[in-house]
Amino acid sequence: MSDASLSSESLAYRHALDAIRAVEPAVAAAIGAELHDQRESLKLIASENYASPATLLAMGNWFSDKYAEGTVGRRFYAGCKNVDTVEALAAEHARELFGAQHAYVQPHSGIDANLVAFWAVLAQRVESPALARAQARHVNDLNEADWATLRRELGDQRMLGMSLDAGGHLTHGFRPNISGKMFEQRSYGTDPATGLVDYDALATSAREFRPLIIVAGYSAYPRLVNFRIMREIADEVGATLMVDMAHFAGLVAGKVLTGDFDPIPHAQIVTTTTHKSLRGPRGGMVLCQTELAEQVDRGCPMVLGGPLPHVMAAKAVALAEARRPEFRDYAQRIVDNANALAEGLLQRGAKLVTGGTDNHLVLLDVSSYGITGRQAESALLDANIVTNRNAVPQDGNGAWYTSGIRLGTPALTTRGLGTAEMDQIADLIHTVLAGTTPGTTGGKPSKAAYVLADGVADRVAGQTTDLLKGFPLYPTIDLG
């Protein structure tokens, strides 16, 4: 194909890869291979998506060369005029899109955004009152005894977060994560009968435990959370409500989650990633009420390294895209597709945690197939179906092997697949799992090894390829 007949995006990427190839051919090859692999596989990882070419291009440039500690107009480095432009724009788009009072777009990831939020609440609720009591303006003004007291107080705070096997996230106060070392944590779970968040039990626990922070939000809960109720509980016990909406930010942006299910009007502070259902670049963000803005803006260098201006530029592009009317349609289709996938699986006899979904994800309990989540994940990958294993409530197989598979629809919805295709995908998944049996390692039963019936992987992989042919990924990009 001659250059003249190539799209501008194809040309941009071909030239970019030529430049990379001239320095390190293996990297150029890996970038090309990644596009090929993503095109060929059925991506059902609930936390992944496909950012637009404009978003991807906004990340690959000389903004990466700039240091920009501080915030817009108040930098510790000179020469940040253009960084200010993109950071201010990203924050403005975020505020407008979500109706938030304040937006901080510097976090590099969801974990970073959560750390900024924890810091901001600690600063507002613990450090600032301690400084006021000591009549000090700054921690450097405290005498040794007051500083030692403040450090003890900062380390003596409590957090209530959703339990991991109910779908909570490691960064919500669990011991293996820094959040669990910073805070004494207690978890709330779901009602074993319904699988839904048990708000009465949560309120009872909060009254007893008196946490500084209640964290709502999840990475593997297939239903909605009522943030109005969560805020009422938080207010009653004097806690700050923090919502980690990383997984469902796209559904909030697209106005699928409104009223009690929209965290912004209810929580004092909301964190998110930008690359999941929101479909932006890999990164994080904090939205908060004005009372926390000053502390949130101190995220870098408090807990973050230097901001990534190239990623903030891409956030601005992606957030501008999410403000377009078509994003609402996209968000609704994510949920419709998840419902269709759940329905298709149920019709084939699969067992789903909570019996279905209200959001972008489905949690499939694979124990009814007699296998672990790990075995299911590996068998599905053999058929080019990319998922990730996930614990289910009261999981007997623990967090490593698990009994579940998490399936999400944001990526395939971006690719254009709809409810009819979700039914076909349910059939492919069921075929693979029904054809999988536990294997052995060294003659002993194994939770990882598996046996896939003859021909199933190839047959399903072929069907996956046929299905995806109708929905090309990045159709404007031809790498040659």
Residues labelled as active-site residues: 67, 69, 244, 273, 276, 282
Q: Which two tokens stand for residue 87?
A: 């950071």
Q: Is residue 349 a known part of a binding site? A: no
Which residue's CB is nearer to ligand DSN, number 93 or number 389?
389
Q: Is residue 164 a known part of a binding site? A: yes
Instruction: Classify residue 470 as exposed, middle or buried by CB count within 10 Å of its CB (0-12, 13-18, 19+).
Output: exposed
Interatomic CA distance for residues 221 and 406, integer angstroms: 9
Closest CB 239 distance from ligand DSN, rounded Å: 24
Which residue's CB is nearer to ligand DSN, number 47 or number 106?
47
Instruction: Output DSSP code: residue 197.
Output: B
Which residue's CB is nearer to ligand DSN, number 102 or number 279?
279
Closest CB 277 distance from ligand DSN, rounded Å: 11
| SS3 state of residue 448 | strand
Interatomic CA distance for residues 431 and 446, integer angstroms: 22
Which residue's CB is nearer to ligand DSN, number 171 or number 378?
171
Closest CB 260 distance from ligand DSN, rounded Å: 23
Closest CB 278 distance from ligand DSN, rounded Å: 13
Q: Is residue 479 a known part of a binding site? A: no
Selection from 124, 119, 137, 128 nearest residue 300 by Cα: 119
Indicate the residue type of 428.
L
Interface with ligand DSN (CB under 6 A)? 47, 219
Instruction: Output DSSP code: residue 192.
Output: T
Q: Is residue 170 a known part of a binding site? A: yes
Interatomic CA distance for residues 117 and 295, integer angstroms: 9
Tokens 């957030």 belong to 319
Taking a C-beta distance cutoff of 8 angstroms, is the pair 190, 225 a contact? no
How distant, in Å, are the alpha carbons of 59, 209, 279, 281, 473 from that of 52? 11, 45, 8, 9, 10
Which residue's CB is nearer to ligand DSN, number 267 or number 361?
361
Interatomic CA distance for residues 480 and 477, integer angstroms: 9
Closest CB 423 distance from ligand DSN, rounded Å: 25
Q: Is residue 202 a known part of a binding site? A: no
| SS3 state of residue 188 | strand
Tokens 């419902």 belong to 339
**Cis omega (within 30 of 0) for bond into 438:** no
As annotated, the binding site includes 164, 168-170, 291
As annotated, the binding site for (6S)-5,6,7,8-tetrahydrofolate includes 164, 168-170, 291
